Structure 1
Amino acid sequence: MRMILVAISLSVLAGCTEPQAPDAPATLPGEDACGASRFQNLVGQPKSVLDGVTLPEGNRVIGPNQPVTMDFRPTRLNVEIGKDGRIARVGCY
């Protein structure tokens, strides 16, 4: 009988251990992983200037109120166009 009580006690105690902390998230690349700093001069320019600019592969030009996916890709260059038809933001996300 005593062995049964010990086994039950050990089982209960095993369930009371604190969960281990999850691994720390992977370090994200620098804030300029997509090269956005090279294109900051476009901010405030009309959208039409993009016709003469070679953007990195995998870029995304986002129009006003345009739905986009919410996946975070720090190496993707995003160019946001404001309601006034001008480039409002260039960033890596």
Structure 2
Amino acid sequence: MYYKDDGDLFTVCDTNPDGYGVTGQLKTLNSNGTGIITVMTLDDGGDSNCDSDNYDIIGAKSYSMWVNWHGNSSWYESVVFSES
């Protein structure tokens, strides 16, 4: 999963033809800062293309990307990032 700042485009790609897909999620803190919420979910697998969508990253609010390979139950988190 990767993020392109120009246009705030998020993309998740299943690059391994192993029969399992991948899910990517974009997460941030909820409005009162007490919990993490998922603001976008992308799934890819079973085709030769990646899946993408836009989400407007706003100011100093912190976000992180999470990826899960459907072959196990582990989620992997990116570094935390923001627009500022």
TM-score between both structures, scaled by the size of structure 1:
0.24
Task: Give the structure with the higher percent helix.
Answer: 1
TM-score computed with the length of structure 2 as normaliser? 0.25
Q: Whose Rg is larger? A: 1
* Higher fraction of strand: 2
